[in-house]
Structure formats: structure tokens, C-alpha cells
Structure 1
Amino acid sequence: MSKERYIVKQAAFLLIMSCLFISCHQSDYKQTQEGVLIWPENSKEGDTKLIQLQVVSDEIIRVVATPEAELRDRKSLIIVDQKEPKVKYNLEVKENNLELTTSKLKVRTSLQTGEVGFYDLEGKPLLQEHKETNKKFTPISVDGFKGYSFKQVFDSPDDEAFYGLGQHQSDEWNYKGKNEELYQYNTKVSIPFVVSNKNYGLLWDNYSLTRFGNPNDYGQLSQFKLYNKEGKEGALTATYTTGKGEEFTKRDEADIDYENLETVKKFPADFPFNNSKIVWEGEIEAKESGIYHFKLYYAGYTSVSIGGKEVVGERWRTAWNPNTYKFTVELKKGERVPVKLDWKPDGGISYVSLKALSPRPAEEQGKLALWSEMGQELDYYFIHGDNMDKVISGYRQLTGKATILPRWAYGFWQSRERYKTQDEVVGALAEFRKRKIPIDNIVIDWSYWEEDQWGSHKFDASRFPDPQKMMDDIHAMNGHAMISVWPKFYINTDNYKELDAKGYMYQQAVKDSVRDWIGKGHIGSFYDPYSQGARQMFWDQMNKNIYKFGMDAWWMDASEPDIVSNSSIEYRKKLSTPTAIGSSTEFFNTYALMNAKGIYEGQRSVDPNKRVFLLTRSGFAGLQRYSTATWSGDIGTRWEDMKAQITAGMNFAISGVPYWTMDIGGFCVEKRYETAKEGSEDLKEWRELNTRWYQFGAFVPLFRAHGQYPYREVYNIAPESHKAYQSILYYNKLRYRLMPYIYSLAGHVYFDDYTIMRALVMDFTKDTKVNDIDDQYMFGPSIMVCPVYNYKLREREVYLPKGNSWYNAYNGKVFEGGQTINADAPYEKMPLFVKAGSILPVGPEIEYTSQKLNAPIKLVVYTGTDAQFELYEDEGLNFNYEKGKYSTISVKWSETDKKLTIGERKGEFEGMPKERIFTIVFASETNKVDFSFDSYKGQEVKYKGNAIQIELK
């Protein structure tokens, strides 16, 4: 062969190989209209075979991964149709990475392993999938449905903080390095959306049991070497003592696991739980050194000590409604450490367990990690923004805008478990009106039906003889009514039979003859809201029996669904499977979302221009698009429960659902409060607890009192002469005076995806001291709320974020930011501060939200830096705001020019006042303004819709 022929042949060979390589390399990915499909080269069994990157917007990227050859045609329950135009992006291969670039982000995906990383345009990392634990899949089959369990781990720098995940009751705030299980239960609302202080969010589109942090379940105490009181290895000593102080039995127990209806059967037979006591004690020896994460599940009075130190002070929950509390303990391998769990059940059979997770390296524990039990594909959305509001706006772009609730919903609601008659309902509202206590909503709780007619939606005629008159009487007093409707039906009701005939009822509870706690006990079950037909029928039954009377709002209780309280998670799944679209294992967390969808769409179908309003005990991503708020469930009446609501509410708000509330005063009551006598210490504490809780409750998105006996009406808490009554009335009236501010924020929620209850980290992200502040928050842009949550506390530490000056709301004193102060907290007052550079619109004293709508408004300008506020108004009860029927007035303060500009009114609506009187009050270090408001005359101006300027005099 000649040299020339050899060279030509070699060149041809290299050309062919090069083409083959290019062809092979190009086949690793395929561009689509919305993004790109990628087939990683090094895919192994259980790894990802196909990844889809979908460009939703310049700052929202969807990532879908599957171990299968093709993606499934999956319809998301939480994502709404995206109507934005297709986003321009570029694709480029760089060193075995496919780089997708939008105008705001770079997304790099390894063509070899499929790892995805998100970067800004300068290449600074925002979020990166961890290389060694990247998208792992395990097949799972349940109820004849197939899917996968999977996990995803992301790297996280040490200074990162995580928020969101819904509402949980362990009083945890920043989730960095912590673990949280995402499932629905009474007092626990899980939303798989996490927001970072690095200005991104991750929305995990999965509906099954999910774990944030450690993917493993908590293990029994038997994972340790255990020693009883005598030092014998194998178990702890459990001593059971009766209410008479007599030892019932003593036995060795290797596990403390009595957390559901199945496991409580392991208690000693015939043990009398009333007034009893059980103590587990001995020693534990760790098999490895490190930080152990413990989870205490408890009802009754419970405390825990480890190593001679009390790690859990006495906590309480009512017997039928346990709570979870988490703590960490560092243990050394081979070291025996004393342990003691002291437990006093509060009533009949109760629940308690203590479990632990073994140590993980700090770096691993601190990562952003998610594991889900079942899904068809791993599916998440990366959402970037300049701040947390922009990130939450991206969440709402994906899952739907939050509506504006009816104006009256932002006023005060009075509820009780329960008003038993029509006269009690109307009488309670009449008493508020008689006393001139502001109120807008009275609530009709459960059991307004005949005892054996749960699910009939029919009033018991012996107690509610004329529902139409009841509603007419409520409306005549300028009130509104919300009624409790459960998704539960007794088998003898007509509604059950109608639903069951179409296959719309879950059957397991009926098959198991499960009886509830009413009277002799009745058999029933819940309907399946995953069926469109079932949702429509459920609404039709509500419409026919209740809505026809003019009911204003719906209270969707037990929407977890709580078919049988205190069941194990496995039995809970069994009770609600199969759903119309798959196994309850796969759709475990979305019942409340589908239930709300049915009511929202149902009411708008029959009454399209009356604002829908729902309150639900559970929720999920997307709930906000159905005019739905969530409350924190049947919480306890303890100071620690009040404190836990602060973190619960802040994390829920960052989870993207803006409307949240709680039972002011707590729902489940300690017996000592039920029997408290006048002059007793217990009654003094009860009144102070409710006073502090009302102070806090006036500054959450929805202001609502509810609970078991003692009754929660202010006049039942204390007499008019008592400072508890006077303080509660003061904050109620203050809430109503701030209604122009609050309702404007509601407009901001809809039009700008705003969040009303704002953790400090949302507005002061650059001040790293706020990352872990879990007991202060902003109510809108101006008011910092500092609840008092300890008995007899008369001052509390308050951190004033740097970069701003702060006004004491009660005396006008100005403080520089960046410092911690001891703020006065007398019985009657909770510390409140107003940020310098705020404009606070204040209305007159009113008794209901539709009163004096066109009255003069005070604009209180807190000077010190530039400020602006947009006053929003609309018709208050309908959906005309969706059609542009509303008005806004922009108000701006220039610190340099010392001028306030009230801008030109934009928009209009029926009934809008053509003229307004504004009174301008300027607060400063020398002009000390307080929240009495009426002691300041200010400068009065007539506003006719044209821009005007007012100079500081």
C-alpha cells in the first residue's frame, strides 16, 4: 500500500469515526419546543435513563427524570396551564455538559450522569444536584398500581437557610440540617415547597409521603444498647402506676412505641389510664458517636431527660390528639447514658412514642434532600427570583394566583365548639353588636344535624327550626356565617347512598364496621374527591341543602382526610384507596386540594360573581387558587402551642399560600382551665394566655377565635372591667382601624403575588441575624409584630433589623436598626414597631368591614426615609376585580423634599367614592405618633382623583 493511499484511508477512517462519535454524542439529547430531552450516557439500574428540562420562564425550570425509556403523559394536580409565550433560550455543549441559557439563568446538565446545576449568568452556582446521590429510583407496586420511590439530594453551602414546607407543630423555623416528614394530619399541613435565603425555591411535584432531610424513617430505641434500672441489658424499665399511687406492673420494654390505634394494644391489659403515670427509665448506649435526632410523639403530660439533663420540659396534649416534638442529643459510642421518659396520660387510652435517627455527617445532614414514597416520575421546579417575593410569585405562576377573599373575611370571626342551637348562633352575634365589639363572621361548627345524620347536610329541626331566618337575622346584623361541612357520610344518609351508588365512597371503613365517637357510634366513610363526578355531586348536595339559605362561607373540616383518628399511616392509606386516579399511597397528600377544587368550582358555577371562601384543616400546593385559607387545626391551649403557631404561620406563608389562621386560645383545653374558679391562679393564667393570643391573632392574615370550653367570646373570658377584656377589645378595634391597610395588602396578594405574614428574612435578607429569628415577623411592609408567649412576661427581647429605623407603635420613640432591645410588654400590650419609611392608612372605628366605607382615611407617614404605599379598593363581595373593576391610589413620601404625593387614582368600580378626605399625619423623632390615631389632627386634604402634593409643616 502506498503512503498516499494509507493516508487517505486513515483520514477516511477518522472521518467515519468522527461522524459516528458526533452522531452518538448528538443522540444524547434532543431539543424540543419547550426545552430539551437528555439521555445520560452512564445510566445504571435504578438511575435516570431520561431527563427533561422544560423552560417555563426565564427563571423557572422544570426537571423531570425517569428510569424508563419514555416520559409519561402525566397531568399535574398542582400546576395550572402556563399561558406565557415560549421563552427564548440557547443550548450549547461544553465539556460533556449541556448548557441551557435563558436571559436570567444557566442550567448545566452532565451528559454522562444527568446531574443538573443551576447558575446565574456569571456562572455563580445557585443550586446543584449532588453527584453521589443523584436521582435514585426504586420500583414500588401498591393496590395494583406501579410507580417508583425516589430521592434527590442537592448541595447546600453552610450559610444557607431553608423555609416553607407547610405548617408543622414542632416549633422549628429554619429547616437547614433538620428533618421533616410531609404528610397531612390534624395540626399538620404539608406543602412540598422549600424556599432558600439564596433567593430560589424548589417545588416538588409529588403527592405521596415525602421526607425532607434524612430519607430514613425514625427508628425504635432498640437501635441502641438498652439497660434497665438494674443494669440488665436489653430494655428499659417501664413502671406503670395507677391514679391511686399503686404500682400496677413493672416490665422491661425495648421500644416506646404507642403512637396509633394498632400499637396501643401493646399496653398492659386493663391498665387504668385515668390519672395514671408511666415512667420509662434506664440507660442507652450509642453504637456510633454523633448527633442523634429524636422525635417525641405525645399526648398527656410528657417530659424527657437524657444524660441527667432535661431535653424536653413538660409538654401537654389532649389524649385524643397527639403532637410531635423534635430534639437532638449528642452521644458517644460505647458510653452509657441515663434516660427517662415521664408520662401522665390525660384521660383514657393515650399515645406516646420516642424514636431516633442515627447520626449523619454534618455536611450530608445539611443538604437539601427530598425522598418520596411513590410517584411515576421525579418532577420538580427550580424557581429563581431577586427576592423571596419573586420566588413566591414564581410558585403562584405555576400553581395559580391567590384570590381576594370577601372583604368581611379580613375582619373578626367568632367560633365555638360549638353553638348547639339557632338561638345560640344568632344570640352570640347579637351580644357582640350590643357590646359594640367589632365582628364580621359567626361560625356554625359540626353537629347541627340530627345525631345519626352526619353527611345529610340537613339542620336538626329541633335545634335549628328555621335556617333561613337564622341567615336572615345574621345578615340583618351586618354579619356573615360560615358552616362546617365534612367529607364524611353515615351509611344511612341519602347523600351517602347517592354517592355510593356511583362508586364515589371509600369502602374500607364500612367494610371494617368502624364506628365513630358520637352517641353509640355510627358507621360511615369519606367520599373520593379525585373523581370529577364525586366533586360535582358533593357540591350539589351542599348547594341543595345549605347554600340555598344564603350561606356565606365553608369550613371544610377533617380534610386530611381524617377518616379514623390516630390510625397508622398504613391504615390511613387503606381507608382511602383506591382513588379515582390511583393508589392513595401515590395521592396521599392532596385530598384537601381536590376537595377545595370541587367547592370552589361548584359555587362559581351556580353563583359566578359571589366570592367563594373556604377554610380547610389541610392543604397543599395550589390551594390558594381556590379562595381557600388554612387553619392550624386542633392545637393545644399551652404557651408552647402559642409559640409554635408563630413558626407554623411564617413557614406556611413562605410556602406560597397567603391565607392562614389559628384557633386563638388553642382548641384542646387542659382540665385545670375547664374547672378554674374566680380568683384562682389557673383562671388568671387562662385570661392572660387568651389575652396574649388575641394580641398575636390580630396580626395574622385572618383573625379568628375558636375552641372547646371554656368559651372564647371575650365576654366569657373576662368581665368588661378586666384588663384581659380591655386588651382583647383594643386589638380587635385596632385590626378594624387598620382595615384600609389590610385590604390593600389583600389586593397586593392577588395582583402582585404578595405575602401578608412576612418572616423577617423576607424583607431583611442581607441581615443574616434574621435567618433564625422565629418569634418576630412583619405584618405587611410596615408593622413588626413581636408576640409575647410566656406567662407573666412583661418585657421581651426584640431584634430591630439593620438598615432601618424603627418606631415604637405606642409612644413614637425611634430606635436605630441593627440592635437588640428589651421592649416593654405590659399585660395589655404586645410590642409592635413600625418601620421608618412607612405609610399606614388608617380608618375610623367601625364594627364591621362594610361600615363607613367612604369615611376619611388617615395617612400616617413614618418619616426617616422614602416611603410608598398603594391604597386598593373594590366592591368587596364579588369577582369584578378580575374584570378590572377596582381602583388604586399610589401614595409616596420623599424624605429629601419633605413632600407627600397622593397620585392620580387609577381604575374605578361601582360605588367608588369620587371624593375622599385624607388626613396626613407625619411621624418623626420630634413628632411622636402612637397608635391612638385620633389624638392627631394632621393636615386635611380633599382628594378628587387627581394627583396632589402635601408638604411637611
Structure 2
Amino acid sequence: MHLFRNAILFSALAAVLPMQASDKYEQVQNGIVLHTQAGQNVRVELLGDKLARVSAVPEGGRFTGGKSLVVLPQGKYSAFSTKDEGNRVVLKTPAMNVAVNYSDGQVSFYDSKGRLLLAENNGGRSFKPITVEGTKAYTVTQTWASPDDQEGLYGLGQHQANEWNYKGKNEELFQYNTKVSVPFVVSTGGYGVLWDSYSLCRFGNPDDYLQLGEAFTLYDKEGKKGNLTGTYTAKDGTTLVKQEPNIYFEHLKRGDLAHVVNLPEDFQFNGSKVVYEGEIEADATGTFDFILYYSGYQKVYIDNKLLVPERWRTAWNPNSYKFSAKLVKGKRTPVRIEWTPNGGVAYCGLRVYKPVTDDVKNQMRWWGEMQDMIDYYFIAGDNMDDVIHGYRTLTGKAQVMPRWAMGYWQSREKYNTQEEVLSTLKEYRKRQIPIDNIVIDWLHWKENSWGSHEFDRKRFPNPKQMVDDIHNMGGRVMISVWPKFYATTEHYKEFDRKGWMYKLAVKDSIRDWVGPGYLGSFYDAYSAGARKLFWSQMKDHYYPLGIDAWWMDASEPNIRDCVDIQYRKDLCTPTALGPSAKYFNAYALMNAEAIYDGQRTTTADDKRVFLLTRSGFAGQQRYSTATWSGDIATRWEDMRAQLTAGLNFAVSGIPFWTMDIGGFCVEDRYVAAQKEFYTTGTENADLKEWRELNTRWFQFGAFCPLYRAHGQWPFREIFNIAPETHPAYESMTYYTKLRYSLMPYIYSLNGMVHFNDYTMMRPLVMDFTADVRTRDVWDQFMFGPALMAAPVTEYNARKRDVCFPQGEVWYDFYTGKSITGGDMKTVDAPYSRMPLYVRGGSIVPFGPDIQWSDQKPAEEIKLYVYAGKDGKFTLYEDENNNYNYEKGAYATIDFLWNDAASTLTIGARKGKFPGMLAKRTFTIVKVDRNNPASFDTMPEGKKIEYGGKKVSVKL
């Protein structure tokens, strides 16, 4: 029985103890309830030495007893004391103090030495009654005054505006394709906050962005007050001029899903040129924060300065980008937006926040649209890892992913036939490029049968044989399963009979993009019965084939692209738990629970679950679920955005993340370049850039938790991106083989994620918090404790600046040459290699050459020991693809490096499991300033025959 099945989630209403601790507050299990002089009720519960829950309701409100979807039951905690200090009550644990003011219920958090970590503002919470679909709740705001304006704040999930440190920034939290919102932040100040809300939320400014016409006085290009000028020039030269009071063309019209709200309907946008221009006059002096919503190609000029260089997104999947401009009160400032749409539907928007003072901007503030109460968890920690440990204590441990999931994944949109799938894997094996996993994307079913979970037998004549053939080649297979069902399928009807389908999409006749367009909708994952049925249908149709992993696409849920948020709520309401406005963000979590619980019930402990979901939420790690960054674009700026997206996602406490290497949606110029190459064999300028972009992206991807290429045409197989003689091919195969050589290291990190609540992909600020420079370093990261990756994200760049954290010795991975930390250095970044460094004191195990992850056991491991300080590493091994590790069936070997004595100690093996190697060989290579050895040169080293007993080696 697995750890989380049938868990009864934490009750929000604590049991009252028989005695009263004070006439000023009520003692309850785990804490206190206080009725403030201001009329609010505040409850503080201690859940551990470093864990506190704070809940608040207005006068007349009550603490609800509903189950948290995110936080698991924590049980009784009694290792705290309560002290009345006159104007406040203080709850003390061995690791922190929590103080609550009697007057207004303000809560403050301190470490055990009395250092203030975080404090609510006086009067910093607000409640506004809201009723949706007959359900009453509150729109709430909670504000904290952070004691350190220099702190870094990270997390909030995965967003695409290329923002890193969220201190003083704003983020709207909702789920959408490429955007995954997780209401959790971690501070460099030794704490984290988990905001337990499932509704639309905002971090930072609680208000929506203003339209330009609301924030400024507008003037058109002729100087006339009231509007900007919009000039629309069609491909045929036809011109339309409009007065625009706002630039807000961000969603499709209801009932007319071919046209965008506020745009001219009789204009052909594809291939056109659009310019919005005029002047804006601010009513205040300061920094205005803009958000640009863009599809096609867009640039933005303010005060005749190019503030947004050209950005591109495909027409059907726009993106948002944030930028700021300093404006002067009363000064008329030129503004110009240049837009080249390149799709049948076009989207554009520019909105703004007015300036606020620094003290207001640097406060931490959360806003929730629909909640029963303010409800958040405070987590204290000695460091950022300790905070994430607390987060997973609350929300559940991550699982040990199957070993094959750490290998290379090949995907494309899409393999259309059984032969395409098998021939692709065969080609990898023929070329001896390591690979573990092949992915079967959407529309493997008959065109009119989405949700049937059946292969189209004309294109996939024998799915079971196909899967068997993949397994016989040492591969695994993941298949795309959507929570979407066409109304004509038996599965839709089965859900519908139980009342478990969202019906509005069918009622409104929303047809999708397939063939003539088909009617369908999504199931209600908030219903326990619907979740069981969803897995039952998968079990009946897919599971007997031997499918290894599940690709949960569109799990936001994305019933319709590019509609406004209110319509998105309408399309998926009511849920089994209440109105979608209240449960807007947690669908992917519920969907993941359906499959995880279902498969673990089906297979007991024999086969590990692996889910890849396009959306996600706090707590998903307990369901063996990874997230990828959605249908991103194929541009250098999109590659850069994946760094901030992936690193913030990692700090959000969810360890397994990946992306479409190369990007999903492809610019027309790359498509044309590939077609030209097939015709002429010529590498034109665009194809040259396409190959370099993929090369740099592969280099980056090799050091992410999951290593996976995917996208639209051109095909994304390494051998289809470039021929064998091309440097792109050499580099991509080099990093793929390196990934497999590092498998003992990577799989050990996988074990650390579960047993130590570790984070594999680590922003520098996690390990080098004291080096304040790292707080704003977003384009480098640690992959485990040893490796520092510095991806190259600029075209034709052959050098880049690298921050070397202070107090460390660093070694160039490729040469072994040492660098003393503390400086920013410009380093070489040749086409075929990404800057990669090893931290002094690291012990890195390299395994044998393999073509898939469990092709053979690592009987010979080469241990590289990087001198410069003491170090340690633990090798973790188990059976690779079952849950026996939960019963103790695993083994570890500790490596300890004494730098002063130049001695490596290999500890006695701990634990055992079926199939464990009784003996193996370790070849030890010492790297120091005088011996700059590298992985590529593979020096001889010192061989040790190891049979499980402790041994020390002088190097």
C-alpha cells in the first residue's frame, strides 16, 4: 500500500482542548484561536518545529472544516509553549517563535534566536464577500512587511516572462499552456510561504493591470487627445486607420471563436503590418510596469527607445512579456507598437501598473479571488533546501522516478504510424545514440474518436506488438492521454451519465481544430468517482499494451485556447467541489491523483508510475508527476525564458521538470529552410541558425532533471536536425552520451530527491546564498552538488560571462583546469560545448558506455575526485522500476574525501536489494591544480576492487 492512498487531509477546524490558556485567546490542539479587538478571528497552529499554519476570517466568519487539496494530514504537535507578553501571545518551538498581536491579530515569525523572519503588516489582511453560483466566500488579501529589502524571493511555479527574483515583482497565478502557477515562494531570508488557495491569485499587486486609457491620457499620432492611432495595412496594401482607446486584443469573442475582441473583423491579419502609435501622458512620475501580450512579431518603443526588441509567438498560442519604463508626470511620451501578425487569428495587448513606492513594492502580498478564509503555511528553514523539505513535509514526498526516466526522450508532433515509431527507435540504435524513451503524441486514435483510448488500426495495426518491439529494443513508451472526450465517444457518454462532464463547450458548439472540427469537452477531475472512471478507461484500453508512462496534455484544463478567464471558468463549472472560480488552479493535481492512485492500485508495487503533465500545482510531486513547459516557441528568447521558468519551478518544491528542447512552435523561416535543404542540400542562413539553436538547447537540456526533445516540424531527432558530419550532430550526441555516462550520479540525485527532499536542478542562490551576487543569476545553475551548467542562449555567441561563486575552487569539466571563485569571468563557449564546471570537493561517479539506462549494471565506475575542500557523495541504487525501495530494498555507498589528507574513503555498503552487484571496480581519478584531468581524456586512475566493505585510498 503506497504512502498517500486514501489519506484524510488535514481538518481546518482544530479540536478545542478542555482548558483555557488565557481569557485573551483559546487554546486548541496544535495552537491557539484569537478573537482580535478589530473583530477578526485568527488561528495559529504549529505543525512542526519549523511549520506553522495561519488562518483568518472576518467578524462573523468561521474556520471551515474542508479538506485541503494540497496539504496532507500532519497529526498532533505538542513541542511548543505559549506565553502571554501583554500586547501579544507568543508560541515557541525549538526552532522558531510565532507572535500574534491581540489588537489586530498581526502574526510575526522569528527564528529561535529572535531574528525577525517575516511579519504581517498592521491591518494587512482584507476580506470582501463574494458569491459565485450560490456559493459564498471571500476575496482576500494578505500583506507582509519583509524585514530585508535585499532578500531574494523565488518560486511561484513556471512563467514565461523571463523573470527571476520575484522580490518587488508581480505575477498573476492561473494555469495556461506554458504557464504553471504554484502558490509557494522561498526566501533567501530563511523562510517560505505556501498560500493554500485554488482560485485565481495574484502575487504582488492585488489589482488587475490597467488599460492604457485608464492609466494615461492618450494622444493619437496627429496630437488629438483621447486615443492612439492604429494603422492596419493588409498584405494587398489595403489600409485601415482606427482610433484605439486601449490596446487590448487578447481573447476570442464568445460565440464567435474566429474573431478577437476589439479587432476589426473584416481585415486579413495574416501577412499584414499593424502599427499603434501616438503619445501617453502620465499623471505621476516613476517606474511604470507594462505587460505585453503578443503573437506574431512585435516590437515596442517608448520615448523613441526600443524597450521590447522583436519577439515572436505562434498565432494560436500568444505569450506575455513584462518590461518597465520611467515616465515623468505631465510629459507627453511617444509610444509605438509594431506588429506583424502571421496567422489567421491575431492577438496583441499592452497594459500597465502605475508606480508605487519602494516600500510598498517590496512588501510581499497575496490576493485570492475566492476563498473560505485566508489560509497559509509558514515554513522556517536553515537554508533553502530546508524550506523545501518543510514544503514536502506538508504536501508529500516526491517519488523515486524510474531509472529509464532519467535517460533521453525522443518525441515529435507527431509519429503518425506504427512504422514511424519503430523506425525512429531503430535508427537511434543503429547510430548508437543512447535513448530510453519514445513518445506517441496525440491523434494516434481515429480522427473522430478523441477520448476513445484506441489506436487507429489503419496506422497502428498492432499496438501491443509495437510496444513489445520497443521493449525488446531496450526502450520505453509514453503515450498522450488527454482529459478530453468527443461527445460521440462511449467514454464521454459514460462520464456524462454520471454527471461528470463539463457541458458548456458542447452547449456552445465549440468545435476543435481537427478535420471539420468536433464537439467535446473535459471530465470533472474534482470528482472522486470521475477520477476512478478516468483511470478505469485507461486501464481497460492502454494499460494492457504495456505502456510505461502517461503524457497528460492540456491539464490546465485547456478546453478552449485564447478565451478570457471568465469564460474559461464557465467552461469548467460547476466542479464536484463547488464553482470553478474557487477551484480554478488545481485541476492538474486532481488529474494526476487519478492516474497515480489508479495505477498503484492496479499494479501494487511492481511498476513505478510516471506522469508528465502540461500543467501542475503544489503537491503534484507526491503523485510521481513531472511537468514540462508547454508549447513554447523556437526562439532564442524562449530558450532563455526556460531557464527562469525551470529554476523557479524547481524552487517551487516540485523537482522534476523538462521542456521541449528546440521549442515546440516553429517560425515559418525555419520550416522553409528545412524544406530547401531537402530540395537542394544547402544550409542557408536560417537553417544554420536552426541547427545552432537546437545544439545550444540540447546542451542545456542534458542537465535538466528530464532530458527530452519535442516539437512541430522540422523533425527533432538528432539525425534529422543535422547530418553526421555537422558540428551540431557531434555536440548533440556528445551530450547525450555524457548524460548516460553520468547515470550513476543522476540516479543517485533521483534517490536524494525522495529520501532527502533534494532539488536536482538548483539555482546558484540555493547553494551559495551568502554570495549576494547569486540572487540575480538566472542563466547558470547547479545540476546536483557537483556540476555547474552555464547554457549559451545567444546566436553566434562563442563566449559568455560566468559567475563563479566565492569561497570555492572550480574546475573546467573539459580540461580540468582550476578557477578560484569570487569573480565574474568571460569564458570560451565554442559551438560544440557549453561552459560546464565542477565544484571543488565534488565526487562524481561515471558509469559504463550504455545505449539505454538499464542495459547493464555499473560493474565499473570511474570516480572523479575534485580537490580543493572536503567532500562527500552517496551512490544510490535499487531495482530501478518498482516500489520495493519503500520497503527498504535499496543500497547506498558513501564516499568521503579528506582534502588535507588526500584520502578517499569508500564506506561500507548499506542495505541490499534483489539483483544488487556483490562486487564492482572503482577507478579513482584525482583532479587538482597540478593534475587537470578531464572526463574526455579518461586518465587511468587507481583501481579498487570493492566487495561492500569500507576501504580508504590515499591519492
**Same fold, TM-score > 0.5, yes or no:** yes
> Which of 651, 663, 680 is the aligned partner of 1:666?
663
Computed over aligned residues only, the root mean square deviation of the Cα atoms, in angstroms, reads 1.1
The residue aligned with 1:103 is: 94
Alignment of 1:461-480 (within 5 A): 461-480=457-476
Q: In 1, Cα distance between the equivalents of 2:20 and 2:496?
A: 56
SS at match of 2:122: coil
The residue aligned with 1:16 is: none
CA contact 1:174–1:772 (8 Å) conserved in 2 = yes
- Deviation per CA, 1:846-893: give whole Å up to 9, x if none: 110002213200110001110100000000000000010000000001
CA contact 1:163–1:196 (8 Å) conserved in 2 = yes
The residue aligned with 1:46 is: none
Q: In 1, Cα distance between the equivalents of 2:86 and 2:492?
A: 63
CA contact 1:805–1:815 (8 Å) conserved in 2 = yes
SS at match of 1:478: coil
SS at match of 1:266: coil
Alignment of 1:422-821 (within 5 A): 422-609=418-605, 610-676=607-673, 677=676, 678-821=682-825
Worse-matched range after superposition: 733-742 or 150-159: 150-159
Please give the TM-score of this superposition, normalised by the length of structure 2. Answer: 0.96
Is it true that 1:365 corresponds to 2:356 in the alignment?
no
Residue 818 of structure 1 and its aligned partner are, at CA, apart by 0.3
> Residue type of the partner of 1:553?
A
The residue aligned with 1:408 is: 404
> Which of 67, 73, 96 is the aligned partner of 2:65?
73
After superposition, the Cα gap between the structure-2 partners of 1:151 and 1:826, relative to the gap in structure 1 and judged at 3 Å, is same
Residue 247 of structure 1 and its aligned partner are, at CA, apart by 3.9
Q: In 1, Cα distance between the equivalents of 2:847 and 2:745?
A: 9
Is it true that 1:128 corresponds to 2:131 in the alignment?
no
The residue aligned with 1:150 is: 140
CA contact 1:239–1:247 (8 Å) conserved in 2 = no
Residue 25 of structure 1 and its aligned partner are, at CA, apart by 10
Is it true that 1:325 corresponds to 2:329 in the alignment?
no
Any unmatched runs of 5+ in structure 1? 1-22, 44-48
> Residue type of the partner of 2:70?
I
Please give the TM-score of this superposition, normalised by the length of structure 1. Answer: 0.96
Is it true that 1:860 corresponds to 2:864 in the alignment?
yes
SS at match of 1:337: strand
Q: In 2, Cα distance between the equivalents of 1:24 and 1:834?
A: 58
Residue 123 of structure 1 and its aligned partner are, at CA, apart by 1.9
> Which of 171, 175, 192 is the aligned partner of 1:184?
175
CA contact 1:411–1:439 (8 Å) conserved in 2 = yes
- Deviation per CA, 1:820-866: give whole Å up to 9, x if none: 11111000000001000000000111110002213200110001110
How many pairs are equivalent?
921
Q: In 1, Cα distance between the equivalents of 2:347 and 2:653?
A: 33
> Residue type of the partner of 1:667?
F
Residue 897 of structure 1 and its aligned partner are, at CA, apart by 1.2
Q: In 2, Cα distance between the equivalents of 1:559 and 1:106?
A: 40
Is it true that 1:243 corresponds to 2:240 in the alignment?
no
Q: In 2, Cα distance between the equivalents of 1:342 and 1:87?
A: 62
> Residue type of the partner of 1:192?
P
Residue 599 of structure 1 and its aligned partner are, at CA, apart by 0.2
Residue 191 of structure 1 and its aligned partner are, at CA, apart by 0.2
Is it true that 1:89 corresponds to 2:80 in the alignment?
yes
Q: In 2, Cα distance between the equivalents of 1:57 and 1:266?
A: 53
Residue 70 of structure 1 and its aligned partner are, at CA, apart by 3.0
Worse-matched range after superposition: 671-680 or 717-726: 671-680
> Residue type of the partner of 1:130?
N
SS at match of 2:121: coil
> Residue type of the partner of 1:548?
P
The residue aligned with 1:216 is: 207
CA contact 2:897–2:904 (8 Å) conserved in 1 = yes
The residue aligned with 1:943 is: 946
Q: In 1, Cα distance between the equivalents of 2:219 and 2:125?
A: 41
SS at match of 2:618: coil
The residue aligned with 1:231 is: 223
SS at match of 1:431: helix
Residue 274 of structure 1 and its aligned partner are, at CA, apart by 1.5
CA contact 1:248–1:271 (8 Å) conserved in 2 = no
> Residue type of the partner of 1:237?
T
Residue 529 of structure 1 and its aligned partner are, at CA, apart by 0.5
Residue 270 of structure 1 and its aligned partner are, at CA, apart by 1.5
Residue 347 of structure 1 and its aligned partner are, at CA, apart by 1.4
- Deviation per CA, 1:355-380: give whole Å up to 9, x if none: 00111111101111100101111100
CA contact 1:58–1:87 (8 Å) conserved in 2 = no
- Deviation per CA, 1:126-181: give whole Å up to 9, x if none: 0000114x220000011111100001111122111100000000000000111000
Worse-matched range after superposition: 542-551 or 116-125: 116-125
CA contact 2:904–2:954 (8 Å) conserved in 1 = yes
SS at match of 1:543: helix
Q: In 1, Cα distance between the equivalents of 2:846 and 2:773?
A: 32
CA contact 1:28–1:41 (8 Å) conserved in 2 = no
> Residue type of the partner of 2:126?
K
> Residue type of the partner of 2:54?
V
Residue 28 of structure 1 and its aligned partner are, at CA, apart by 2.6
Computing the radius of gyration from Cα coordinates, the structure with the larger value is: 1
Q: Percent identity?
A: 55
CA contact 1:484–1:557 (8 Å) conserved in 2 = yes
- Deviation per CA, 1:502-553: give whole Å up to 9, x if none: 0010011011111111111100000001001000001000110111111000
The residue aligned with 2:7 is: none
SS at match of 2:912: coil
SS at match of 1:130: strand
The residue aligned with 1:138 is: 128
Residue 269 of structure 1 and its aligned partner are, at CA, apart by 2.5
CA contact 1:213–1:369 (8 Å) conserved in 2 = yes
> Which of 113, 137, 148 is the aligned partner of 2:104?
113
Q: In 1, Cα distance between the equivalents of 2:763 and 2:330?
A: 42
Residue 266 of structure 1 and its aligned partner are, at CA, apart by 2.1
Residue 264 of structure 1 and its aligned partner are, at CA, apart by 1.4
CA contact 1:301–1:344 (8 Å) conserved in 2 = yes
Q: In 1, Cα distance between the equivalents of 2:642 and 2:20?
A: 56
The residue aligned with 2:679 is: none
- Deviation per CA, 1:80-128: give whole Å up to 9, x if none: 1225x62311111113101111111111100111000001223211000
Q: In 1, Cα distance between the equivalents of 2:842 and 2:112?
A: 34
- Deviation per CA, 1:6-54: give whole Å up to 9, x if none: xxxxxxxxxxxxxxxxx999333111121111111122xxxxx211111
Residue 69 of structure 1 and its aligned partner are, at CA, apart by 4.5
Any unmatched runs of 5+ in structure 2? 1-18, 254-258, 677-681
Q: In 1, Cα distance between the equivalents of 2:265 and 2:375?
A: 48
> Which of 350, 358, 378 is the aligned partner of 1:382?
378
CA contact 1:757–1:780 (8 Å) conserved in 2 = yes
The residue aligned with 2:194 is: 203
> Residue type of the partner of 1:668?
C
Q: In 2, Cα distance between the equivalents of 1:474 and 1:822?
A: 45
SS at match of 1:749: helix
Deviation >6 Å, runs of 4+: none
SS at match of 1:787: coil
> Which of 271, 274, 278 is the aligned partner of 1:278?
274
Q: In 1, Cα distance between the equivalents of 2:815 and 2:752?
A: 29
CA contact 1:383–1:395 (8 Å) conserved in 2 = yes
